[in-house]
Structure 1
Amino acid sequence: MGLNGVLPEGNYADCANGHRMHYLDVGEGPVVVFLHGSGPGASGHSNFKGNYLWLVEQGYRCLVLDLVGFGFSDKPDDVDHPLSFFVECVKQTLDVIGVKNCAVVGNSLGGAIAIGLALECPKLVEKLILLAPGGMSPTEEYMEMSGMLKMIEVYGSGEPITAEVMKELFSFGLMHDPKYATDELVAERLQIMEIMNFHVMMTMQIPHLVEKLPELACPVLAFWGTNERMMPDSGILGLAKNCENLKMILVSECGHWVQVEHEEMFNRESLEFLS
């Protein structure tokens, strides 16, 4: 699976809203759903390949979704992409699969969607694992972050996104240590770039969710790298002060991808939380 930077293709769900969603379905046991972040060439496998396969070995059934607009899922260019649309597509995918309850892992955009899903479907989502989720700070604060500005520059240039450009973006924007921006990761992302349109990034609308956090009914485990260049630090306190049943882990020498830069720690803490 996923050899040499080639993404594995799994299953497809035909949702009630007419969109087709791609997902990997691996293992048996309690269900853990993985929701990836945004960015050029994003997909569930490239975000979580060091995490979900390990959890499968610990006795979990892992559903790794490609969000609408990303991976092998549909990429509609005639609808906007507010948070409610992402949540709807995830919920309808889980309906097709037949999932009645699950834990949800969400990184960045996927974290905001995980929160949205848990608020809308409290009986479905039993636990949340959040990695620097979106929606924790006002929009203007995101626009001051160097990694976010780099992403906007790459998208807005109109130039083709080459392997070199992508590697530089990941090294600077997503990671504290650039060694994690591997050729394999770049190859996986370029594979999706060939079939991706920019409409999802241009029409994405994630509201400020902090005031909604007290409504969460489930336990939450959150991770946040202290060397973030994408998410404002205000999001740390936004999460910490508004989630009632929260364990939060701040990770030094870590950028936006805790699950990649501190894979073993993330896996171990997640397993303890899930079990």
Structure 2
Amino acid sequence: MPRQDLPLPEGHYLTLPSGLRLHYLDEGEGPVVIWLHGSGPGASGHSNFKGNYPAFAAAGFRNLVLDLPGFGRSDKPADVDYDLAFFVAALHGFMDTLDLPRVTLLGNSLGGAIALGLALDQPARVERLILMAPGGLEERETYFRMEGIQRMVTIFGEGPMGVEEMRQLMSLQLYDASQIEEALLEERAAVAVTQPDNLFSSMRVPNMTARLGELACPVLGFWGIDDRFNPPGGADKMLAGAPRARFVMLNRCGHWVQVEHRDLFNRSCLDFLHHG
């Protein structure tokens, strides 16, 4: 059963045919946007996107803010490999269970890689992609040379994470760490202690750069040039490879464009969704 004492809003649950139980928020009415958060200790859909999806709901979109398996209020099995195929299968099952034939996928970091993976495997199911510093564009060794990834592995490996440990980690997500809210640290610290050890040790995301030319849908992307988790050069790969891509590059911005430049992000995405 899900923990009821997590400091996160509780929305809806569904169970996939595999038995995996997923939690999600369902806000607004209209064309569907599925929100896919990034990785890291304590992550959840709400903690990644709390400043964004309400604006989309007000603009006439139905927002399904998913907690990926291993995160938030969703199931966190300790006997699976958390590789890209596992996450893409869970997302595919989520869409099938809710009878969603075609959606916009919006993903940050790991969530961006999952969005790319589904768009490549099931192109007819994806109308548009919105990506923020998506994973899946480098080899694993490249990611593990990044300062933020190295620090995340060290802190998580040192044992249970409290608010202060989470503060150390989250300060690397942003260019301006003063934007970190205490509520965010408390949310993520509470989730982190529920996550299994195999979540990060078994996480594998292949480099999909060579397949970007297969993307059939329009892509809007964002990247902060001060990103310490994911090399900003991935934007050049997307622009060179994807037939219908545009990217917004931001200075004085880290891994969380949607947090550090909330208004610009929301406006740009809504313009893309309304007008293409």
User: Normalised by the shorter chain, which TM-score bucket?
Assistant: over 0.9
> C-alpha separation between the residues in 1 aligned to 2:197 and 2:110?
15
Q: Give the Cα–Cα distance (whole angstroms) in 2 for the partners of residues 236 and 175 of structure 1.
A: 18
Count of residue pairs the alignment pairs up: 269
Residue 3 (structure 2) aligns with: none
- State how far apart, in whole Å, the 2-side matches of 1:198 and 1:21 are: 19
What is the Cα deviation at residue 228 of structure 1?
A: 0.6
CA distance in 2, matches of 1:49, 1:112: 21
Residue range with higher mean Cα deviation, 30-39 or 118-127: 118-127
- 1:171 aligned onto 2:171: yes
In the other structure, the counterpart of 1:108 is 109
Secondary structure in 2 matching 1:204? coil
Number of the residue aligned with 1:190: 189
Query: How far apart are residue 100 of structure 1 and its match?
Result: 1.3
The SS at the match of 2:24 is strand
1:127 is displaced (CA, Å) by 0.0
- Per-residue CA deviations over 1:178-221 (Å, capped at 9, x if unaligned) read 01221010011122123222321111110001111111110000
Equivalence for 1:257: 256
Q: Which residue of 1 aligns with 2:162?
A: 162
| Runs of at least 5 residues in structure 1 that lack an aligned partner in the other structure | none
- Distance in 1, matches of 2:186 and 2:156, equals 18
Which secondary structure does the structure 2 equivalent of 1:223 belong to?
Answer: strand
CA shift, 1:101, in A, is: 1.1
How far apart, CA to CA, are the structure 2 residues paired with 1:170 and 1:78? 28
TM-score by length of 2: 0.95
TM-score between the two structures when normalised by the length of structure 1: 0.95
For the 8 Å contact 1:136–1:234, the answer to whether it is kept is no
Find the residue that maps to 1:123 and give its secondary structure.
Answer: helix
Unaligned runs of 5+ in 2: 1-5
CA distance in 2, matches of 1:257, 1:63: 19
* Aligned mates of 2:42, 2:197 — CA distance in 1: 10
Partner Cα separation in structure 2 for residue 116 and residue 144 of structure 1: 23
Matched, 1:237 2:219: no
- 1:194 to 1:138, Cα distance in 2 relative to 1, 3 A: closer
User: CA offsets, 1:38-91, max 9 Å, x none?
Assistant: 101100010001111110000100000000111111111111111011000011
- The CA deviation at 1:132 is 0.3
| Distance verdict in 2 for CA 1:155–1:194, change over 3 Å | closer
Match in the other structure for 1:270: 269
CA contact (8 A) 1:137 1:238 kept: no
* CA–CA distance in structure 2, aligned partners of residues 129 and 265 of structure 1: 14
Please give the secondary structure, in 2, of the residue aligned with 1:100: coil
What residue in structure 1 maps to residue 58 of structure 2? Answer: 57
Identity over the aligned pairs, expressed in percent?
47
Native 8 Å contact 2:161 2:193 kept in 1: no
Paired position in structure 2 for 1:92: 93
Question: 2: distance between equivalents of 1:190 and 1:156?
Answer: 14
Question: For 2:271 and 2:63, how far apart are their aligned partners in 1?
Answer: 16
Query: Could you tell me which amino acid in structure 2 is paired with residue 181 of structure 1?
Result: I
Q: Which residue of 2 aligns with 1:10?
A: 11
Residue 32 of structure 1 aligns to a residue whose secondary structure is: strand
User: In structure 1, what is the Cα distance between the partners aligned to 2:157 and 2:234?
Assistant: 26
Determine the C-alpha separation between the residues in 1 that align with 2:261 and 2:197: 30
Instruction: Check whether the contact 1:137–1:234 (CA below 8 A) recurs between aligned residues.
Output: no
**1:28: Cα distance to partner?**
0.5
In the alignment, which residue of structure 2 is the partner of 1:149? 150
Corresponding residue of 1:19: 20
